[in-house]
Each structure stands twice: as C-alpha cells, then as structure tokens.
C-alpha cells in the first residue's frame, strides 16, 4: 500500500511539473519556427523517449499475421515478415502509449494507422508517429490503391514528368491513409540481372537513374504540404553489384567505381532534398554499410551535406552481430551503427534497452542521440504531423485512392513502359486476319502482372492480359489455356493441351516470365531476395514456347518480369517479342492495345539484355578493353542493347550538327539533329545523346548517356532536336579521384539507341 502511494505521488508530481510548463509548449505552437519547436521538444524528452524515437516496429496486424505463419527459425532469414518472440502486440501497444516508439512500418489499413496514432496521443508528450511503407510503384503494398508500373518499366519510358506525377499521386494516396514515408526511390544502378531487385531500380545507367530518382523524390516530397510524404533514397550503396548477384552479399568495388557509377544518383537525391536515406544490406569493401562511417559521415554528411535522417534496412544492424560478425553482441552492433552515423533502427525490441544502457555507461554521449532525434523530429514537424488532423477518414480516403485521374496515369504509364523487341511485321495484329487466337502462359491471367511490392488487389481493379485482349479484340474468338501461376510446377498435360489448341488457332500468344507476388513469398522466382544463378525462363516455359512455335502458326511472346531474361532462341524464332516488365494494374489493357495497334510502342530499354548468364556483366557504358579478345564460341554482342526499342513507324536521323568545333572549359556546345517520321503513323521517339572522351588520363567508357528527350512526330514530320553540352557533362574523376576536365577531342553521338549503328556522330575539341 505504501509503495502504491509513493508511485501515485510521483506520477502526480511528474504530471504537475509537466502541466506547469503547458502554458509555454513552444513545440505545440505552429507559429514558431521548426528549429525552435524541435529544440523545445528535445529539451522536454527523457533518454528513453529519445531512444524510442530512433526505433521502428512493424505494425500490430503484421505481427499477429507473422506469428501465426512463421516459426522462430523461419523468422531469422525472412526479410518480409516479422514478429518479436517473447513480445506480444499488447506490449507494443503499451510502449507506443508510453512514447517509446517513434515509427511503424508494414501498416496497411486506415483502421490501424488511426489506432496507432491514437495510442501515441496518449503518451506524455504526444509525439506523432511517422508511419512508413514500401510504396515502390504506388502504395501497392496496401489494398485498394493505384498500382503503377514498377521502376524498371517506368525508366524505359525515359519520362521524368511521368515519374514525378506517379510519385505525387502516390503521396496523395498514402497521406489519405495516414502514411507519411515511402521507402523509395531505389536509386541503385542495376548491373547484374541475376539480382532479384532489378525491377525496383531505374536501370543500368547512372544518368538515367539520377534523373528518374530526382523526379520521383521531388514528386513525393513536393513542398512538404499535407499531401506530401518523405522520400527515402536507397540502398546506400552498391547492393546491386553484389558478388554472384545475391542480395546482401558483399560488394568489393574500387572507390573509382563507387564514385563514377553508384554515387551520382545518391548525390543527386541529396541535392534534390531527399528527407531520408536507407543504407544497404551488404558490406562494401569489407565494411558493412550499416557501420560504415566513411559512407554515412564522411561522404553523406560532410562531403554532400545531407540534412535528413538515415534509416537502417530490415534488421541489418543486428546482422553486424549474427551474420557479418563485426560486432560481438547486439549491444555492440547498436553502438557501432550509431557511432558510424545511423539515426533510426528498422526494427526490433532490444534497441531501446541496449542504447539506453550505452548512454548511461558513457559510451554514447547524449549529444550524439540528440543529433539523430533532432533530425527525426524535424522531419515530423516538416510533414505537419504535429499540426494536422491526427486521424484520417476512410470515406474521404477512397475519393483519392483509385480515383479516375490516378487510374488514367497508371494506364498511360503502362502504355509508355512496354518495349517492343522484335517484330517480323506481324504486329500490330489484324483482327480480321487472326480470327481465332489462343493465349496461354503463367502470366496470361494473373495479378502477378502488377509486379513485386504488390498486395493482392480486388480483381475488378486489375486488368490481366486475358482481360485486356477480350476488351480490345472483341470480335476475336479467344481460347485460353491456363498454365497456372507457378513456373516451377507447370503441368506437362497443360503444356500439351496448349500445343494441341495452338494448331487450331490462327495466332498464338504466350505470356511468359517470372512470378513475383509477395503473398507467396517462398514460391516466387523474381523480386526481393529472389536472386538466381541463371536468367533463363523457369520451368516448362521454354518448352511451351518452342512447341507452340513448332505448330506452324504465328507466335507472339510477351514477357512479364522485373529482370532481363536470356531469351535468345525466342528472340530469333518467334514472330514478335515484347518486354512488358511489370506494367501494373492496367498492364493487360496496355499490352492488348499495343498488340492490336491502338497504341504505338515508344519505350526503350533501361538495361542491356544479355544473351545468357555467361555475358554478365554486360553494360553499354563499359571500358574499351572489355571486348578486346571477346568470347571464342559465342556472340559478344548483347541480345538487345541499352536504349533499344522498336515502333510501328520508322524514324530517320539526319546529319548531326555542332554550333562549335572548338570550345574552352567555360563554353558549351549546342547539338542539333533532325529526326523524321518516315512511316505511316504517328509515333514518339526517344532521342538519346551520348559522349565519349576519346583520349584521357584514366580509362573512360566507350560512351555515356548525357541527355535524352521524347519527340512526338506525325507521319512525314521532321523536328530538329537540340541538346546543350555543358562542361559538367565533360567532367570525370582523375587519377586522384578529383573532378576535372581535360583538353582533347570528344565524340558526340545522337540516335535511337546505344548501339553504334543507331548513332550519328560528330567531334569537337576542348582547348
């Protein structure tokens, strides 16, 4: 009884002390500058509350679902689902009410986002939660949201305006659900198609990745208004060129390669004001990214002046102890990561306890904790979380999500992301000529068309390829042979059925590729943590296509995949090949419209497609010595080069002209080239500008993309396309990794792809 009285007295005393300051709660006064509000709040916080702001948890419903589906052993290697052994969802609720949790992720319903915020509002200081989600191509991880094409398809459109629009619309849908922070854009440069996450990236070229990443970042963040969210540039750095193409495997790269290839998109994202950055799973040259002081402090903070906060990836600080073994305990792992520059921990229960101990022991100074908490609080104030309505209305939310404007954007983006790779003249299809069409393949009638990072959506919001064909080819007799969704377990009998029916059809369409849906996490063949030792079609898909082609009837193949696939036989033998990537919720309609000519394809490859796994690594911007000897028993050229893509019309490039033949360092060169539509239908051409420094003190790539533009042309129309080459496009890293420009000759190349035969050239000299 005495203890209870004492405790009650202390609680009352604390309440009185706090409420005595209530007349001057600067942090609650929205008229005050953010910096002043942050400092006022920081000064009121206990150590435990500060450390709690640095910690993130998965949502309550996610915890409960994972508990029922995963064993503790399975939990160790799972990077999609989580719960906390020995901890209940009720514990997490209590910690939230006590102000000991600052953030959540994997929360996918308004009911839960509102509930979690209501718990936070019961805490002493009423600090709102910042709730993050992997909204990679729309807020697709939550049901009833617009699902756009994934990043790799978006990059193939070379459309930065579309990238901005998609990000802006995604932010609106997120905020309508009380979500504030997306773990996107992924600005890693994709250099290995075995890596399962190629589809999350904007491709293999640093310049294209940079431009798409900046547009996406700006689209999310806007002016930090009530409909904007925090962007997160990730994963810093080089996770896309890990050994053997395996996610989280070591990256062993020179500093030159890091600075020339991988750093530029991140630097551009920082300059664009990205609010957060996520470190990579991997170790970089022997030092895990999550404790890499050179990356986080020297490069990011001091060299680039990054002002936002850094978040870890999924339990990767723990991996310093249990996988990478640079820390002797979890506590030591937390110490190493914080002292190297980490601000927020994703995710787990031991963080609060051990980090508080480290501060009390004097190993981490309170000033270091304050640095991180200051950055996190600043982001919360910047987003208006302290000043706007804490809760959102489900009815109002659905007026934003899946609205007609967003649906139209998803459809247009899909149309512009699909690459026509081969066509012997069969496309566009003539409905009068091909009256009986057989369609088959694992991706012919499945929500998998939406791609990775997508939850199951209501069927009425997804148009599969079969749906699209029925919409577009209304007078065609369409036969569908279902091959199931799983390429690894295809039924030979269903393959035989498709082959039989192929003989009776006028035309056969096979929708092949990979399986990416996350609700069957362990059964996927593409996407995060689904790396492969080859890039062939999985299962009986190749056999299916070859047998259908052998029927003697015209055959068209469409690929649905997040990574480039080695389809050399298919490219050389079928009548037409389309790479649709992961085109989103309206992908089926867009594919059908392209097949039947309602839409003229315009997309160009954002990655090189190799012939087979033996050509990895194969990128267009390689060094001159790459093919000096080459392979002896196979082709050295790619199956399809970067920047390549066909149209239903023809474009003719005229003579390239430069306004100057010689310049000094402070001058620029204007490039002009006429482009004519010599075909019989309207089209849009993506004109690409490349530069080669012909002689330099360090080896330079054979060509580098330096600019691009999209040109709409009517039949017979000519437009003069102009580019300006400024001195920043001529800079490179010298022998001491310093930015420099050397005098000499530069080759300018403009055309329809990175392939030499597709480029017109001119030369100028820098004095």
Do residues 746 and 692 make contact, with C-beta atoms less than 8 angstroms apart?
Answer: yes
- Print the SS3 string covering 330-361: HHHHHHHHHHHCCCEEECCCCHHHHHHHHHHC
pLDDT digits (tens, 9 = 90+) for 473-513: 999 999 999 999 999 999 999 999 999 999 999 999 999 99
In Å, what is the CA distance from 270 to each residue of 82, 171, 232, 301, 308? 31, 19, 10, 10, 9
pLDDT digits (tens, 9 = 90+) for 640-679: 999 999 999 999 999 999 999 999 988 999 999 999 999 9
What values do phi and psi take at 615, rounded to 5?
-90, 0
pLDDT of residue 69: 75
Beta bridge partners of 670: 724
Residue 38 has pLDDT above 90, yes or no: yes
Cβ contacts of 84-91, under 8 Å, gap ≥ 24? 84/348, 84/349, 87/349, 89/60, 89/63, 89/64
Q: Give one word for 728, left, alpha or beta, with left for phi > 0 and alpha for psi -120 to 50.
A: alpha
Q: Give one word for 412, left, alpha or beta, with left for phi > 0 and alpha for psi -120 to 50.
A: alpha
CA–CA separation, 641 vs 210, rounded Å? 20
CA–CA separation, 291 vs 310, rounded Å? 12
pLDDT digits (tens, 9 = 90+) for 243-290: 998 999 999 999 999 999 999 999 999 999 999 999 999 999 999 999
Taking residues 447-460, report their average pLDDT.
96
252 three-state secondary structure: coil
Q: Would you state the torsion angle of the CA atoms of residues 453, 204, 687, 664, taken in this order, to the nearest 10 degrees?
A: 140
pLDDT of residue 1: 33
pLDDT of residue 293: 98
Q: How confident is the model at residue 9 (pLDDT cuts 50, 70, 90)?
A: very low
The dihedral sign for the CA sequence 356, 360, 365, 366: positive
Residues in the chain: 767
Do residues 145 and 139 make contact, with C-beta atoms less than 8 angstroms apart?
Answer: yes
Beta strands in 502-543 (DSSP E): 507-513
What stretch of H or E contains 470? Answer: helix 465-472
Q: How confident is the model at residue 635 (pLDDT cuts 50, 70, 90)?
A: confident
CA–CA separation, 386 vs 27, rounded Å? 9
Instruction: Provide the pairing of β-strand 669-677 with 657-658.
Output: antiparallel
Percent of the chain with pLDDT over 70: 96
What values do phi and psi take at 580, rounded to 5?
-95, -5
pLDDT digits (tens, 9 = 90+) for 678-695: 999 999 999 999 999 999
Cis ω before 111 (30° cut-off from 0): no
Greatest alpha-carbon span in the chain:
94
Do residues 546 and 397 make contact, with C-beta atoms less than 8 angstroms apart?
Answer: no
Name residues whose C-beta falls within 8 Å of residue 540's C-beta, 6 or more positions apart in sequence.
487, 490, 492, 495
- Segments in 21-87 forming alpha helices (H): 34-44, 47-53, 60-69, 72-76
581 three-state secondary structure: strand
Residue 608 has pLDDT above 50, yes or no: yes
Tell how far CA 180 is from the center of its chain. Answer: 17
Taking residues 549-566, report their average pLDDT.
97
Integer Rg of the chain from CA: 27
pLDDT digits (tens, 9 = 90+) for 508-518: 999 999 999 99
Residue 17 has pLDDT above 70, yes or no: no
Q: How confident is the model at residue 434 (pLDDT cuts 50, 70, 90)?
A: very high
Residue 6 has pLDDT above 60, yes or no: no
In Å, what is the CA distance from 392 to each residue of 382, 389, 478? 19, 7, 45
Question: Of 376, 401, 478, which Cα lies nearest the Cα of 436?
Answer: 478
Taking residues 560-586, report their average pLDDT.
98
Residue 575 has pLDDT above 50, yes or no: yes
Sheet containing 683-693: give its strands across.
662-663, 759-766, 744-751, 683-693, 704-713
Where in the sequence numbering do the catalytic residues fall? 313
Beta bridge partners of 104: 57, 131
Average pLDDT, the chain: 94
pLDDT of residue 633: 80
Residue 330 has pLDDT above 80, yes or no: yes
Taking residues 580-598, report their average pLDDT.
98
Question: Of 338, 342, 323, which Cα lies nearest the Cα of 79?
Answer: 323
CA–CA separation, 181 vs 276, rounded Å? 9
Question: Of 557, 485, 572, 498, which Cα lies nearest the Cα of 526?
Answer: 485
Taking residues 129-139, report their average pLDDT.
98
Question: Of 417, 398, 520, which Cα lies nearest the Cα of 461?
Answer: 398
CA–CA separation, 521 vs 80, rounded Å? 8
Do residues 480 and 402 make contact, with C-beta atoms less than 8 angstroms apart?
Answer: no
Domains of the chain: 1-133+310-386 (3.20.20.300), 416-627 (3.40.50.1700), 651-766 (2.60.40.10)
CA–CA separation, 734 vs 738, rounded Å? 5
Q: Would you state the torsion angle of the CA atoms of residues 187, 191, 195, 198, taken in this order, to the nearest 10 degrees?
A: 40
Percent of the chain with pLDDT over 90: 90
CA–CA separation, 403 vs 401, rounded Å? 5
Question: Of 682, 622, 613, 626, which Cα lies nearest the Cα of 650?
Answer: 682
Q: How confident is the model at residue 329 (pLDDT cuts 50, 70, 90)?
A: very high
Q: How confident is the model at residue 78 (pLDDT cuts 50, 70, 90)?
A: confident
CA–CA separation, 517 vs 667, rounded Å? 51
The interaxial angle of helices 366-382 and 34-44, nearest 10 deg, is 130
pLDDT of residue 364: 98
Is the overall model pTM greater than 0.75, yes or no? yes
Name residues whose C-beta falls within 8 Å of residue 517's C-beta, 6 or more positions apart in sequence.
447, 448, 454, 456, 485, 524
Name residues whose C-beta falls within 8 Å of residue 302's C-beta, 6 or more positions apart in sequence.
none
- Segments in 667-732 forming alpha helices (H): none
What values do phi and psi take at 55, rounded to 5?
-120, 145
3-state helix, strand, coil in the chain (%, to 5): 40, 20, 45
pLDDT of residue 23: 56
Per the structure block, which two tokens stand in for 162?
A: 């579309």
Do residues 576 and 420 make contact, with C-beta atoms less than 8 angstroms apart?
Answer: yes
CA–CA separation, 60 vs 483, rounded Å? 37
């Amino acid at each position: 009884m005495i203890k209870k009285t004492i405790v009650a007295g202390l609680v009352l005393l604390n309440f009185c002390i706090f409420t005595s300051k209530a007349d001057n709660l600067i942090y609650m006064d929205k008229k005050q500058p953010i910096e002043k509000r942050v400092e006022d709040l920081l000064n009121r916080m206990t150590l435990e509350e500060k450390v709690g702001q640095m910690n993130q948890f998965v949502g309550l419903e996610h915890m409960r679902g994972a508990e029922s589906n995963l064993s503790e052993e399975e939990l160790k290697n799972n990077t999609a689902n989580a719960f906390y052994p020995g901890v209940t969802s009720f514990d997490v609720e209590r910690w939230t009410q006590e102000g000991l949790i600052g953030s959540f992720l994997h929360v996918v319903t308004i009911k839960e986002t509102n509930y979690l915020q209501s718990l936070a509002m019961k805490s002493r200081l009423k600090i709102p939660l910042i709730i993050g989600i992997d909204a990679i191509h729309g807020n697709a991880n939550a049901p009833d949201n617009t699902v756009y094409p994934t990043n790799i398809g978006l990059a193939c459109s070379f459309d930065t305006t579309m990238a901005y629009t998609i990000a802006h619309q995604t932010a609106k849908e997120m905020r309508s659900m009380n979500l504030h922070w997306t773990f996107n854009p992924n600005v890693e440069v994709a250099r290995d198609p075995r890596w399962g996450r190629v589809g999350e990236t904007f491709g293999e070229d640093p310049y294209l990745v940079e431009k798409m990443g900046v547009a996406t970042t700006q689209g999310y963040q806007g002016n930090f208004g009530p409909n904007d969210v925090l962007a997160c540039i990730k994963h810093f750095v080089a996770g896309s060129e890990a050994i053997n193409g395996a996610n989280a495997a070591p990256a062993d790269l020179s500093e030159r390669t890091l600075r020339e290839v991988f750093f530029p998109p991140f630097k551009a994202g920082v300059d664009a004001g990205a609010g957060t950055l996520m470190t990579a799973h991997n170790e970089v040259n022997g030092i895990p990214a999550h404790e890499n002081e050179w990356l986080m402090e020297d490069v990011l903070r001091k060299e680039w002046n990054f002002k936002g906060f850094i978040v870890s990836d999924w339990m990767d600080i723990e991996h310093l102890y249990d996988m990478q073994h640079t820390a002797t305990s979890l506590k030591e792992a937390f110490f190493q990561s914080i002292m190297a520059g980490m601000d927020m921990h994703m995710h787990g229960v031991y963080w609060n306890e051990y980090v508080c101990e480290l501060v009390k022991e004097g190993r981490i100074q309170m000033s270091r904790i304050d640095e991180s908490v200051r950055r996190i609080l600043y982001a919360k104030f910047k987003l208006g979380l302290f000043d706007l309505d804490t809760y959102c209305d489900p009815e109002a939310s659905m007026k934003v999500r899946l609205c007609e404007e967003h649906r139209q954007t998803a459809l247009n983006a899909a149309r512009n992301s699909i690459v026509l790779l081969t066509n012997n003249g069969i496309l566009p299809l003539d409905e009068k000529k091909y009256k009986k069409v057989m369609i088959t393949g694992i991706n012919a009638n499945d929500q998998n068309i939406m791609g990775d990072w997508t939850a199951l959506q209501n069927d009425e919001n997804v148009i599969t390829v079969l749906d699209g064909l029925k919409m577009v080819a209304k007078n065609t007799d369409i036969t569908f042979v279902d091959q199931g969704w799983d390429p690894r377990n295809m039924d030979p009998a269903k393959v035989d059925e498709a082959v039989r029916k192929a003989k009776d059809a006028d035309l056969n369409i096979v929708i092949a590729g990979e399986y990416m849906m996350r609700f069957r996490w362990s059964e996927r063949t593409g996407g995060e943590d689904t790396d492969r030792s080859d890039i062939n079609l999985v299962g009986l898909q190749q056999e299916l296509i070859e047998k259908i082609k052998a029927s003697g009837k015209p055959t068209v193949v469409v690929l649905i995949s997040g990574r480039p696939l080695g389809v050399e036989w298919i490219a050389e033998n079928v009548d037409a090949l389309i790479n649709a990537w992961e085109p989103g919720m309206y992908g089926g309609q867009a594919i059908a419209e392209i097949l039947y000519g309602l839409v003229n394809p315009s997309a160009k490859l954002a990655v090189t497609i190799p012939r087979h796994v033996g050509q990895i690594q194969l990128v267009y911007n390689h060094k001159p010595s790459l093919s000096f000897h080459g392979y002896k028993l196979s082709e050295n050229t790619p199956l399809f080069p970067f920047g390549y893509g066909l149209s239903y019309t023809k474009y003719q490039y005229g003579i390239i002209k430069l306004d100057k033949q010689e310049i000094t360092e402070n001058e620029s060169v204007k490039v002009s080239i006429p482009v004519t539509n010599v075909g019989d239908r309207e089209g849009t051409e993506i004109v690409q500008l490349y530069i080669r420094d012909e002689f330099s003190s360090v080896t330079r790539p054979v060509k580098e993309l330096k600019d691009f533009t999209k040109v709409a042309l009517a039949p017979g129309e000519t437009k003069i396309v102009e580019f300006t080459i400024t001195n920043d496009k001529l800079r490179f890293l010298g022998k001491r990794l310093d930015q420099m420009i050397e005098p000499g000759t530069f080759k300018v190349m403009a055309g329809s792809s990175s392939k030499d035969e597709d480029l017109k050239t001119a030369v100028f000299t820098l004095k």
